[in-house]
Amino acid sequence: MNELFAVLPAPIRTLLNSLPAAVRDNLEEVRLRQNQAIEIRYGQQASYVTASGQLTSNSRLGWVFTEENRQKLINQISQHSLYAFEEELKRGYITVVGGHRIGIAGRIVMEHGEVKGIREITSFNIRIAREKKGVAGKVLPYLCDAPGKGICNTLVISPPQCGKTTLLRDLARMLSYGSEWAASRKVAIVDERSELAGCLHGVPQRDVGPRTDVLDACPKAVGIMMLIRSMSPDVIIADEIGRSEDGEAVWEAIHAGVSIVCSAHGNDLLEVAQRPMLGKLIQHGAFHRYVVLSRANGAGTIQGIYDKNLKRLERAQVAW
């Protein structure tokens, strides 16, 4: 987290450092809006912070994010070079050292009916990425069909903020290192949003294992095809599939003898099955395992693991 604090302007850094340790260690989001009080989210709670680092529910007592600090924050996160982040600005977030993601909002500039970029960025949502090693240990035993055989094609389903990226990252790590349930194998990650491996200049900032290749900032559909052709992976891991071309690439990978582990937004299996592309994949039995996450007992609660025929394999509702 220190590397993230380093990109923040001094006043914000001191403010966050003066938070009670229990809050600081559980920090999930820091929200900054120009001329508004700073808001933080930790655990399940949200709160404003006063200038002295006290938590408060009164927005008028909170420390105000000024124009000057806004400019400094933009300078820092863009390394004084906003033009180098055009692609990121189009998508609405910038990934910084350590794989933390900063969501942004402001005035959108359109060109030919498409978003060209964001000018006058005034809202920031700093999402603190957490590495939780070992979280995949609860899921992994269910993903190995039989000894000696490959990893099941798996879809992780979860609403936002329930830890699906964390789970995928740890799966990559455990598959790459090898564990008591699955021998070490070649893993390839298509990291479209630089969130899984948190690459900086192409080098993963998070531990994704020694036998892992990362295709950073690559669109998933293209990336999956590239990896099959060039890197001969055993397992391909991709975050948040949803577009129709993603579905085709997944289908292609499955028939190329590569296992695929990916995630999708959704509250439960039923909801996901209604989405056009994913529904089709599920109908055709593309996936052999479904892992559903929720926030019931804190981020990362495993609601259930289902097999190819959508039959539940496990009842446990354990939080990490």
Partner 1 sequence: MVKLIGCILVLFSASMVGWQLGRRYANRSSQLRALLLALQMLETEIVFGLTPLNRAFVKIGQRVPREIGNLFQTAAELLQTARELSTQACLQAAIDKHWPQTALRKDERDVLSSLAFVLGSSDVEDQQKHLRLAITHLHALEEEARVEQGKYEKMYKSLGFLGGLLVVILMY
List of residues contacting partner 1 (CB under 8 A): 6, 9-10, 71-72, 75-76, 78-84, 86, 89, 116-117, 119
CB of 192 to partner 1, least distance (A): 18
Question: In this complex, which beta carbon is closest to partner 1, that of residue 10 or of residue 21?
Answer: 10
Question: Cβ of residue 95: shortest distance to partner 1, in angstroms?
Answer: 14
Contact of 156 with 167, CB cutoff 8 Å: yes
Q: Residue 217 Cβ, how far from partner 1 at the closest point, in Å?
A: 12
DSSP code per residue over 98-115: GGEEEEEEEEEEEETTEE
Closer residue to partner 1 in complex, CB, 58/81: 81
Strand order across the 55-56 sheet: 55-56, 45-49, 39-42, 27-33, 114-127, 100-111, 93-96
Minimum CB distance to partner 1, residue 75 (Å): 6
Q: Minimum CB separation from partner 1 for residue 65, in Å? A: 16
Question: Between residues 11 and 242, which has the closer beta carbon with respect to partner 1?
Answer: 11
Nearest-approach distance from CB 92 to partner 1, in angstroms: 15
- Per-residue burial over 181-219, b if 16 or more Cβ lie within 10 Å, else e, is bbeebbbbbbbbbbbbbbbbeeebbbbbbebbbbbbbbe
Residue number with CB closer to partner 1 (82 or 260): 82
Nearer to partner 1, 98 or 163 (CB): 98
Using DSSP's 3-state secondary structure scheme, residue 270 falls into helix
Tokens (6 digits) for 128:
């603190």
Closest to partner 1 by CB, 116 or 243: 116
Q: How does DSSP classify residue 265?
A: E
Given a contact cutoff of 8 angstroms between Cβ atoms, the answer to whether 139 and 319 are in contact is no
262 φ, ψ to 5°?
A: -145, 175
What is the pairing mode between strands 187-191 and 235-238?
A: parallel
